[in-house]
Amino acid sequence: MGEGQNIRSAVGIVLRDPVLVGGTIAPIALFLAILLLPVFGVIVSLLTPLPLFYFYYSRGRPIGLVMIALATLLTGIILSMGFGLAGTALFLGYGLLAAVMAESFARRLTPEKIVGYSSAAILGFGLIVLIILSFSNGQNPWVYGRNMIKGHVQVTFELYQELTDEMQRSRVSPDRVEGTVSVTPEGQDKPAAADTGPDQASMETPGLEKLTSVFVLIFPGLIIMGVLLLVWFNFMAARIVLARKESLPAYLADLKKWKVHENLIWFAIGFGFLAILPVSPLRGIGVNGLMVLSLVYFFAGLCVVAYWFDMKTVPYFLRVLTYSLIVLQQYLGLIVIGLGLFDLWFDFRKLKKVDAGFQA
């Protein structure tokens, strides 16, 4: 009864406070940026949970829940003429992320638990949405999800083919550039380029099927990695916002000493063993597990890099340049993953065991 009264009073508070009204509208604007700005809007939309997180954390659970509900309702109304339930469900997932992350901050959980619990909530919500959509279409979740992946791969493949064909058509032969027409010795026009063969379409099909099977195999790992990156991105942004408001918990102020729990190495070994097995389901589990753990160790490697940047007082512009190269160059990314992995044995930061970072 008390909680219900708090929610009802929170509705009135939110609607009367211009700051809270702005905080409700801000995530909607961030979310819709993906429709207005082709490339930059995608990055901006990833920050959709941030305003909801801040007010949930700073003003309490009732205010936060009301703001999430109102923002989701308004988003559903705006998207009702176009994207409908899919877009609204995505926004609701962002709201769930904001709520779980705010609750985790309030309970002073460790960084890995904040990111882990928030990611688990998003993945669980996505699984529920997948189940609902699959049953509403009369299919089981596995078949429905596989068909969705195949559809996306098919669209991407067709788009690539169209772009390739357009590039080939746009090429002009040297003869036409000079304004002449090449003729054969018999005086006839030069024949067109040889056809690639009537079986070209049939030759592309096995390649498409193979590409689809690969994406189906690694799709769970890609989804988990995407969610981890989304949560990590908002976690780091939340730290910056709270630090500027002087409300960031002290134990989250410096993450350069954070390291992966030692027992996680056994999961890496186990997934590596499964990845080389000839049994397809087990190999899929191993490959996806290694993909996810590679991202975790990448985060740990970044902490090692940041720690040594501070130790050596590296200039800011060199840090930005290095981080950019790490993101853009896959070989540097692999080196960072190696730093996070081998830090377990070599202790690159020479940290004592008692303060070796936050442990789960």
pTM above 0.75, yes or no: yes
**358 within 8 A of 348, measured Cβ to Cβ:** no
Strand pairing partners for 189?
183
pLDDT under 70: residue ranges of the chain: 1-5, 82-84, 171-208, 352-360
Burial of 77: CB neighbours in 10 Å, binned 0-12, 13-18, 19+: exposed
pLDDT at position 200: 44
pLDDT at position 271: 95
pLDDT at position 86: 80
Task: Round to whole Å and give the CA distance between 148 and 153.
Answer: 9
pLDDT at position 201: 46
**253 within 8 A of 238, measured Cβ to Cβ:** no
pLDDT at position 119: 96
Which of 51, 54, 68 minimizes the C-alpha distance to 105? 54
pLDDT at position 354: 44
Q: pLDDT tens, 291-344?
A: 999 999 999 999 999 999 999 889 999 999 999 999 888 899 999 999 999 998
Task: Give CA torsion, residues 314, 316, 319, 323, to 10 deg.
Answer: 170
pLDDT at position 160: 75
